[in-house]
Copies of this chain bind each other. A is one copy, B any other.
Amino acid sequence: GYATVDHHRAIRTGMPEVIFGKGKTTEQILGIAERLLERASNVLVTRTNEEVAGRMKALYPEAEYFPACGALRVWRDRTMHGKGPLAVISAGTTDMPVALEAVVTAEVMGNDVDQIHDVGVAGIHRLFGNLDRITKARVIVVCAGMEGALPSAVGGLVSCPVIAVPTSVGYGASFHGLAALLGMLNSCASNVSVVNIDNGFGGGYVASLINRL
């Protein structure tokens, strides 16, 4: 067999089992998922495709597939673990796949997710129009590409932790998300920490852990 499966963590913490789909064959993903689902209630597969989704749905009719971001979710135990609203904010329409990966992750980890999209820094009034929802959140995930300035703007408006997810949206000197990543790492807002480019999963995961505290 291939991947050594470690059930204990999931059982212990009530967290979903997660399979990173990229670079794995359909058979590998299905094999791992089946073994996991013998014991785990919830399984999340990220970066997968229609073929895997079809095969999974045949086996587990409750499986949900999110084609915009390639996430696949078996969400059987829907216990809420988050202690308050977890917001996922995105800058532009094209950042939504990454934001969706964060949303799908945070939901399957037992959070009530509030989504706020298309509120980029160049139209800062749109951010202010959602100030109520933003300040209500206990923890916030912010997804932005291009110059990646949104986490700083959000971070300056709230006093809760902000997880910044740079996206590879952009072209030219965005260098596939590098500009956004560097911007976020240099955020002048002190409440910002950062995960990998396009890592909506990581953003949703870290925020979910924080929201359980």
Contacts and interface: CB of A to CB of B under 8 A. Distances in A.
A168 B206 CA distance: 25
A213 B187 CA distance: 22
Interface string A1-42: 011101001001101001010111000100000000000000
A93 B28 contact: yes
Contacts of A92: 3, 188
Interface in A151-173: 152-153, 155-157, 159-161, 163, 166, 168-173
Interface residues of A, number: 85
Task: Identify which of A83, A117, A187, A188 gathers the most chain B CB atoms within 10 Å of its CB.
Answer: A188
Interface string A172-191: 11111111111111111111
B94 A187 contact: no
Contacts of A187: 122, 146-147
Task: Identify which of A2, A117, A199 gathers the most chain B CB atoms within 10 Å of its CB.
Answer: A199
Interface of A: 2-4, 6, 9, 12-13, 15, 18, 20, 22-24, 28, 83, 91-94, 96, 117-124, 126, 138-139, 146-149, 152-153, 155-157, 159-161, 163, 166, 168-199, 201-202, 205-206, 209-211, 213
